[in-house]
């Protein structure tokens, strides 16, 4: 993985694609270049399949992804220390570290370089469930029973992930349910990691949220405000998908309540009733302040009367 030129099979199968897409790439950036061009219409199917295999391998163990290791060298020991201490040198981590970093991405706690790398991994795995080892590990039975048709599709474009989200209430295995809830949490933080929703709302994002900087839930908040605004007409498919997500997020909030202040803040900021919630919080703070002020004056007056006696 450090030097793709040593990967004979990859170099042989993708020889023509390397000449087409990555003629100037050096050995260290070769695989990264191929990954970036994987979904091009000009990409050879056999080379695309080989790239996907290498992505699956990298996502299984972060140590096999040099760019991720470099970008997240401070974040991994900081946030995933428990996983590292239990890990054995001669065994794969089954995507645990990347899964750990994904949660921190949703909480907006990663460094900028690490955040960029994890965003790419989330986007790729949102399109192809095979790139998410933890999802495959914990949801294999649910994928077979609930999403068999989607999993059998030759081209993976996020159908399996969407199927699991839609069938969230039917999922009985707690670990699988947790993985799906994590996917919803990630999409709430960044619409770009929810390919189905992003595709449905692409035009509306362009029309109503073009000036909004992507990431950190900003464009999602923009769409939620547009959905709430009766003067704005969203595309029917976008409106439907957004309402579906609101129901899913509402259920997710009940099943997995906020872990901390940052998570709670994210839930409030991406809520369709954000303005109402913020106004209620502001009003409550003002009322508490006035009550405290009045109590302070009364206490001061009583103290003075006692001193006069």
CA distance 263 to 212: 21
- In a domain, residue 169? The reply is no
* Structural domain that includes position 48: 1-58
Domain boundary among 228, 252, 276: 252
Per-residue confidence (pLDDT) for residue 79, from 0 to 100: 94
- In a domain, residue 201? The reply is yes
CA distance 183 to 162: 10
- In a domain, residue 36? The reply is yes
The two three-digit tokens of residue 250, written as one number: 């509402």
Per-residue confidence (pLDDT) for residue 266, from 0 to 100: 47
Domain boundary among 252, 276, 299: 252
CA distance 118 to 132: 12
> What angle do the packed helices 174-189 and 236-255 form, to 10 degrees?
130
CA distances from 217 to 109, 185, 212, 224, 227 (A): 13, 10, 10, 10, 15
Per-residue confidence (pLDDT) for residue 115, from 0 to 100: 92
Task: Please list the alpha-helical segments (H only) found in the chain.
Answer: 8-13, 15-21, 30-36, 45-60, 66-71, 75-79, 81-86, 96-106, 112-127, 133-146, 148-151, 159-166, 174-189, 195-200, 202-208, 218-228, 236-255, 261-269, 274-308
Cα torsion 252, 253, 256, 262 to 10°: value is 120
Per-residue confidence (pLDDT) for residue 272, from 0 to 100: 46
Q: Indicate the number of domains in the chain.
A: 2
- In a domain, residue 294? The reply is no
- In a domain, residue 14? The reply is yes
Per-residue confidence (pLDDT) for residue 210, from 0 to 100: 87
Per-residue confidence (pLDDT) for residue 299, from 0 to 100: 59
Question: Is the whole model's pTM more than 0.75, yes or no?
Answer: no
Q: Which residues contact 185 (CB under 8 A, 6 or more apart)?
A: 103, 106, 252, 256
CA distance 81 to 104: 13
Total residues found in the chain within this entry: 309
Per-residue confidence (pLDDT) for residue 277, from 0 to 100: 59
- In a domain, residue 44? The reply is yes
In contact, 188 and 217? CB cutoff 8 Å: yes
Per-residue DSSP letter, 216 = T
pLDDT along the chain (309 residues), means of 10: 85 94 88 91 94 92 91 95 82 86 89 92 91 94 95 90 92 93 86 88 92 82 91 93 90 65 47 56 74 66 56
- In a domain, residue 195? The reply is yes
- In a domain, residue 19? The reply is yes
Per-residue confidence (pLDDT) for residue 285, from 0 to 100: 80
In contact, 168 and 251? CB cutoff 8 Å: yes
Angle at 84 between CA 66 and CA 56, to 5 degrees: 45
Domain boundary among 43, 58, 73: 58
């Amino acid at each position: 993985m450090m030097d793709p030129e040593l990967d004979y099979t990859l170099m042989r199968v993708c020889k023509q694609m390397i000449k087409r897409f990555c003629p100037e790439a050096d050995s260290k950036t070769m695989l990264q270049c191929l990954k970036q061009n994987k979904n091009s219409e000009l990409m050879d199917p056999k080379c695309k399949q080989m790239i996907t295999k290498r992505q699956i391998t990298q996502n299984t163990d972060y140590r096999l992804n040099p760019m991720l290791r470099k970008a997240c060298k401070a974040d991994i020991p900081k946030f995933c220390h428990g996983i590292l201490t239990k890990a054995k040198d001669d065994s794969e981590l089954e995507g645990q570290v990347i899964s750990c970093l994904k949660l921190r991405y949703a909480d907006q706690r990663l460094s900028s370089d690490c955040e960029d790398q994890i965003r790419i991994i989330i986007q790729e795995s949102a399109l192809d469930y095979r790139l998410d080892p933890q999802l495959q590990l914990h949801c294999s039975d649910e994928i077979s029973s609930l999403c068999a048709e989607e999993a059998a599709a030759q081209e993976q474009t996020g159908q399996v992930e969407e199927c699991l989200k839609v069938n969230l209430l039917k999922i009985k295995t707690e670990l699988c349910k947790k993985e799906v809830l994590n996917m919803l949490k990630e999409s709430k933080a960044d619409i770009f990691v929810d390919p189905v929703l992003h595709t449905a709302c692409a035009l509306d994002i362009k029309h109503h949220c073009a000036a909004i900087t992507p990431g950190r839930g900003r464009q999602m908040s923009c769409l939620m405000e547009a959905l709430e605004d009766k003067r704005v007409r969203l595309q029917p498919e976008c409106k439907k998908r957004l309402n579906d997500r609101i129901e899913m997020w509402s259920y997710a909030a009940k099943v997995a309540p906020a872990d901390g202040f940052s998570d709670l803040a994210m839930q409030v900021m991406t809520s369709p009733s954000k303005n109402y919630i913020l106004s209620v919080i502001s009003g409550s703070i003002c009322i508490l302040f006035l009550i405290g002020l009045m109590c302070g004056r009364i206490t001061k007056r009583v103290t003075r009367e006692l001193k006069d006696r």
